[in-house]
Structure 1
Amino acid sequence: MDVIEVKKLRKEFKSYSSRSGLTGAFRDLFTRNYKVMAAVDDISLNIKQGEMVGYIGENGAGKSTTIKMLTGILTPTSGSVIVNGMDPHKQREEFVRTIGVVFGQRSQLWWDIAVQESFRLLKKVYKVSDKDYKEHMGYVIETLDIGPLLDKPVRKLSLGQRMRCELAAALIHNPPLLFLDEPTIGLDVLVKLKIRKFLKEMNETYKTTVLLTTHDLTDIEALCERVVLLDEGKIVYDGRLDQLQANSVELKQIEFQFLKDISEEVLPKKGNVKWERKDPYTWIAMVDGDETQVSKLISEVVEKDPIKNIKINEISTEEIIRKIYEEGMATS
């Protein structure tokens, strides 16, 4: 069963520019220069019940705009959106009872009242019975370890504490679909681990479908088997994360630690090799090729300069995605 069905979805915005000088400002009073920008450009996407999908891309790629259309906040310029069997914009009141949303930079909790009072207000809004609230929220509060925070005003919570409470608030009505837009932004490692563990348990226990947008790719690696990669409003990859990594096995990362300070001019430039300086004595080579090319590069470097250490690193998901973007920009 598809929880999210998106076909040829498009969202356009007008971008205005001002003319320079007093004359230009006067002309702007009567006519404005503008151009139409497509933030989301004819994307199609299907997500099944119980999936945890990473929706990733650079700033301005269209991730948050997509989330806002899927949640009914924005109306699409064209295309169709069906979420939980409903049109998010046209059936808004009924639809919002079937989703949970966490925006990392916006709060749904009331700033000056205790967390538990915000929870009670949301319980009334979503018409959750006392029995369901006690059973479900008891589990959520215990798992997220927010019991000691319930009687504190939101304004007195740290960022990590507030984000755990925000996540709990989004799950008061136990929605089958959860949208997370940068939920771990600015959080420390321990809080991130706690949130990841909780999301995994929710997915396993309730088959909650999760659509996650984030710049922290360790969140994606920890939670999502499938990733959707967005670039300039278009989907450039939609598939399994391990397949994305497998398709990039030819990309190797070799770390050379020299005995002296080495300038880039003396490093080999043959083939598909890119060099990055880590520190005065260490250079990292990005090699796009097979084992033969890697061996040849190592031999060339060792022949020229004394080496203290050589290390072949596993390529991170971040490097793989950066390579996809660079190849896309080179062909565009």
Structure 2
Amino acid sequence: MDMKTLDQPRYSAIPTVLLEADKPTGEQPMELFITDEHTEHYLALQAGGDSDRGQFTGLGGWIGLGGLGMAFLLMINGKWESVPMGLIMSAAFFLVPFFWETLRPLPLPILFNRRTREVYFNHEGVLLHAPWDGITAVANEYQLVGTHIGGMQSTSLEIRMWQFETPEIALMVSLGPPFGKSLAMQKGFWEYIRSYMNNGPYFDEQGNHSESDAFVKSQLAVQPNMSGWFKDTFNDIKKRRMESDGKNYLGGSDVVMLVLTFLFYPWFRIQELTYSLAKRRSRNLWPKVVTERLKANGPITRLVDLEHEQGVGVSKAS
């Protein structure tokens, strides 16, 4: 497929915009809630859902903590005969979902490697890759209409990638779900990726290189962080206290929110830790040619260069 012509029927009925690696989109960089990791050497984008992995462990751990509290009360009251069963039940509520959720591999992300300037993706166990230099993303804007949602503006954003050592097999890989995203939003997201690869790892509001990670942190901070809900609520109350000048600043809803976020904090925190552990375990699923290139001192040869050395046919994007 020649992405410069885009003469396929798939793209003939809807407006198509080509976004290139070396050309600005005119939009400011914008992260769209799917960045899993933003490091000095690679950018990882969630590619297969499961971002809520760990919720069952969080719920089980939350119930288990309650069970530990009950066991403690039984010990204080001298009812030792019921304590062992309470401890076993508390441990089971946490350990059963913990092992189930951490031992199952997470879908591997789409990786943008700054060191080697290439992109990796694992599709059903098959390694796909594409050189960054010269890459083109395809953005398609369309209207999604339904009886329950009305009209929803959506825009897909895809790049073409090739199977490693079999470049005649290619796939269009979506950079996140298109639903509810405008063309301007997808351009901003492409600008975020472009700024990272060309000017990163850190950059400012205009996409220019920056020694400070302040702008990147401000973008990533918008992502939902349930364990930070309690901290945000507490800081908001604390701020209003400083601004109240002795006046009554605390309402009933503030008390309820503070208590609820405090009570649910263990659940959310356990969920996030479980997801983090499952993610680290899943990294072992990447082939060695990828994992060694993600290291700070790893090789900088691209996979397409390895294909050249092996005499494998090379894709047009190389």
Q: Do both proteins adopt the same fold according to a TM-score greater than 0.5, normalized to the shorter chain?
A: no
Please give the TM-score of this superposition, normalised by the length of structure 1: 0.22
**Which one has more relative contact order, counting CA pairs under 8 Å at least 6 apart?**
2
If each structure's strand is expressed as a fraction of its own residues, which one has the higher value? 1
Tell me the TM-score normalized by structure 2.
Answer: 0.23
